[in-house]
Amino acid sequence: MNEPIVDPTEGLEVRTYFVRERNALVARAHFSDLFVEYYLHQGQHGYTHSRAHDTLFKDALAALTLHCASRPWNEVAAWTIHFAPLKLNLFVTGDNQRGAVTGQIFTEDVKDDGRILFACDTVRGDGPSRRSVVELEIPDVFLAVEQYYAQSEQLPARLFRHAEEDFVMVTAHPDIDMAWFEGLTEESIRTMDQTNTLSLLERRIYRWDCGCDDKRMMRVLTPHFTKDPEALFGDEPLIRMSCPRCGAKYVITREAMEANALAK
């Protein structure tokens, strides 16, 4: 399937353009509404993070969304960014068919190996998962994405802030005007539509949506419950768990697990 299955009227709109005579693709969006959804999700599940960590996460979420909008409709991407010096891991993921992006910040049990790593896992359609890993020297999200493109996509990309929550990604196509591409600055990005001819290619819609729920969490627990319910629950009538993708918190009762197991 190569067609979207999202509501085309609600969510963050990402526009992609082809830059004529430059052979480049531009993806752009204003992320205020998506960032509000992220903060509402935090509040709903009782998470708080430092402003510095939130800023890095929002950079990653914006870059991932622009990346997805530049890719085929049947592609799913997940990025894990490991900043050992900051004791921080960022996870963001996007599903083009669902028009869904989500992620979370990890600050506990972060491996202290002194490394800065960017890992991208990609699945297209029913194909196998493909992983690329890039090692960095500076804890910068945009630089990590740009180095990933240079190393793994074989065509470079650059990321810019058009405004505080307005981001732009420029991706090279074959025969790109490399001098123009390498000379791009935040100032020239702001005047690109005045100095270049841009042709609108697509409008894509994305929203904050993990897709997790109680039933999905129980499916994860079912094999463990079937094997050894006492090891899972002990003497407690319930367990608390969080979604590994978005951090949403769930309370799963033993009674619900027993009913779920009987239904199987």
Same domain (yes/no): 126, 189: yes
Quick one: pLDDT at residue 3? 53
Looking at 15-29, 201-215, 222-236, which range is the least confident one?
222-236
For residue 260, name the pLDDT band (cuts at 50, 70, 90). Answer: confident
pLDDT, mean of residues 105-118: 96
Mean pLDDT of 90-113: 97
Q: Residue 154 CA to chain centroid, in angstroms?
A: 21
Tell me, yes or no, whether 165 lies in a domain. Answer: yes
Q: What pLDDT shows up at residue 191?
A: 94
Going from the C-alpha of 225 to that of each of 235, 249, 251, 257, the distances in angstroms are 14, 19, 15, 8
Looking at the fold, whether 163 and 239 belong to one and the same domain comes out as: no
- Spatial separation of the C-alpha atoms in residues 62 and 96, rounded to whole Å: 14
Q: Are residues 229 and 183 part of one domain? A: no
CA 123 – CA 180 distance, rounded (Å)? 32
Residue whose pair of structure tokens reads 């669902």 in the numeric block = 98
36 plus 16 within the same structural domain: yes
Domain co-membership, 91 together with 69: yes
- Give the pLDDT mean for 82-101: 97
**DSSP symbol at 226:** H
Whether residue 106 is found in the same domain as residue 229: no
Residues 174 and 258 in one domain: no
* End position of a domain, from candidates 188, 208, 228: 208
CATH number of the domain within which 110 lies: 3.55.30.10
Best CA proximity match to 102, nearest among 243, 250, 249, 216 = 243
In a domain, 219, yes or no: yes
Domain hosting residue 78, numbered range: 12-208
* pLDDT value, residue 154: 83
**Tokens representing 78?**
């997940």
**124-166 pLDDT tens trace:** 999 999 999 999 999 999 999 999 999 998 889 999 999 889 9
The answer on pLDDT for 1 being more than 50 is no
pLDDT single digits (tens) 30-59? 999 999 999 999 999 999 999 999 999 999
Token pair 């129980």 is found at 218
Residues 31 and 124 in one domain: yes
